[in-house]
Structure formats: structure tokens, C-alpha cells
Amino acid sequence: MSAPTVRRRQLGRTLRAMREGLGLTQEEVTERSSGTINGAKLSRIETARTAATAADIEGILDLYGVEDDKLRAGVLKLTREGGRRGWWQSYRNVLSPAYEDLISLEAEAASVRTWQIGVIPGLLQSPEYAREIITSTAMSAAAEERVDALVQVRLARQSVLSREQPLDLWAIIGEGALRTRAGEGVMHDQLGRLLSLSRRPTITVQVLPSSAAPHVGQMGSYSILGFDEHADLDVVHVESLTSALYVEDRESVGLYRDAFERLRAAALPVEESMALIAQIRDQK
């Protein structure tokens, strides 16, 4: 399932809460509007699967009897922001819809908690390492032709780490990812980049050693994107070779949070992690 932008998700939940507060079903909204508000479209807006226009929202707010000017203005602001263009849209010819969604979520997230069992997280990758990973996972000639553009996108995503309010990133990386054999000097530089970035106050890196006991992370890599005051919008991103899954159910997201806490406890403390990364780098 593809995950829409944060603003659209906020808008959808707000409208659904309004409708349910009035005790109306989506079909009843259609009937009361004499068909001008289509129930199927309302469903797509509430689930954030489609962007809404200002006219759509004005009509819905009128039907719901919303007269509070401040509330109306806030809902319409969410509508406008939900349809705004991001830098990544200029790469639409090379990005899958799921990847666009990930980038849009990262752009608005306050925090990312990521566990990566076999690869350095994309937000921490060096250009050369990113190229090797993207090239090695390209499974078609068409994908191979997009490598240059995809490297540009991956590096552009990292701007969230240096924006005015930097993303708070906590990365736990499996030791095996640090020992990957890559082109000459690639891993040495990549591990040096990890050490350098980890000095930033908003970036924390831990290593989960290969000698660790069996742990929940062996079930696969994932990332939790957090939105602070809108914690109910937190989403888990689980990526596979050909697709991505977005987990939005609050109970399920909570399970992934609990799993991340277990991984933090199983991983080496930060200082020991840095020492191991430096040791491995010096062997490259």
C-alpha cells in the first residue's frame, strides 16, 4: 500500500472525524449533497488516496455546517499544502509512486528511527556507495539507465539532515553492512562518512554486532517516520526488492517502536559502535 503525504493524511483524518461526529456515513453525505459530493471521492479524500481541491473542501465544510472561520481556514490550508509540489516531482520519470511517498514523508518528518540489517541507510550514504548499491540492485535494463538520476535523488534526500530544523535520525546498522566488499576506497570513505555524520547532535548511529544473540531485527529492516505533535500520523516504511509497505495502524506502529527499543538495547553503545566502525574502516 502506498502512503500519501502527511498533510493529506491530516486532512483526511480531520474530515472523517467531522463526518463521524455528525453521525453520517459517506453514503448519507452523498444523499444530503444531492450527489454533488461523491461518496467514492470522499472516501479517497478521507483515506488520503487522492488530493482534494479547495472547492471540494468548501462544499464538504458547508454540508457539515462548519462556520468557525479559523477552523475552515486551517482545513483549507491543509488542502493547499497537501497538493504542493516537492523537489522530487521533477524526477517523476524515474521514481516509483512508493518512493515519491517516502521522500515526501521524510521531508515533513521530525524523526526517523531506522534499522538496516544489510545496507547503510540511504540518508547516510556517500555518493560512491549509493551508486554501488543502486547499481547492484537494478534488476532491469531500464533500472540501470536510471542509476545516475537515482543517485542524485538519494543525495538530495539527505538535505533533511541539514535543514533549519534537522531531522532527528537514529540508525541501527547490522555489522555485516559495514563489512560489505565494494569498489576500491568506497567502504573506507563510507565508514568515514558515518563517523563524521554521527558527530552531529541530531544523528545517532549504533552497530548491532554479528555476534549478537537472536533478535527481532532478523525479521527484516524497517524505518519509523515520526511527526511529533501528530504522533497518530507516524508511519513505518518496510522496503523490499520490488515494492514497499507502509504500516499506519497505530497498534502495529507501536509494535515496531517496541522492536526498535529492543534493537537499541541489543546494539553496541554509541561509543563502542564508533570504535568498531573506525576499526573496520582502518582495515579497508
Domain boundaries, the chain: 6-82, 90-282
CATH H-level, domain 6-82: superfamily = lambda repressor-like DNA-binding domains (1.10.260.40)
Task: Indicate if the pLDDT at residue 2 is higher than 50.
Answer: no
Pick the residue with more confidence: 98 or 230?
98
Distance (Å, rounded) from C-alpha 124 to C-alpha 191? 10
Buried b (16+ CB within 10 A) or exposed e, 115-126: bbbebbbbbbbb
Predicted confidence (pLDDT) per residue in 196-209, tens digit: 999 999 999 999 99
pLDDT-derived band at 4 (thresholds 50, 70, 90) equals: low
Residue 121 confidence (pLDDT): 98
Residue 227 confidence (pLDDT): 86
- Structure-block grid coordinates of residue 209: 554486532
Residue 237 confidence (pLDDT): 95
Residues whose CB is less than 8 angstroms from the CB of residue 126 and which lie 6 or more positions away in sequence, other chains included: 186, 189, 190, 193
- Structure-block grid coordinates of residue 200: 552531529
Identical fold, 6-82 and 90-282: no
pLDDT-derived band at 240 (thresholds 50, 70, 90) equals: confident
Distance (Å, rounded) from C-alpha 271 to C-alpha 69? 53
Distance (Å, rounded) from C-alpha 234 to C-alpha 248? 7
Task: Indicate if the pLDDT at residue 89 is higher than 50.
Answer: yes
- Provide mean pLDDT across the span 23-29: 93
Task: Indicate if the pLDDT at residue 3 is higher than 70.
Answer: no
Look at strands 244-247 and 235-239 and give their pairing: antiparallel
Residue 170, CB-side half-sphere exposure with 13 Å CA sphere = 14
Sign of CA dihedral 19, 21, 22, 23: positive
Q: Does domain 90-282 correspond to CATH entry 3.30.870?
A: yes
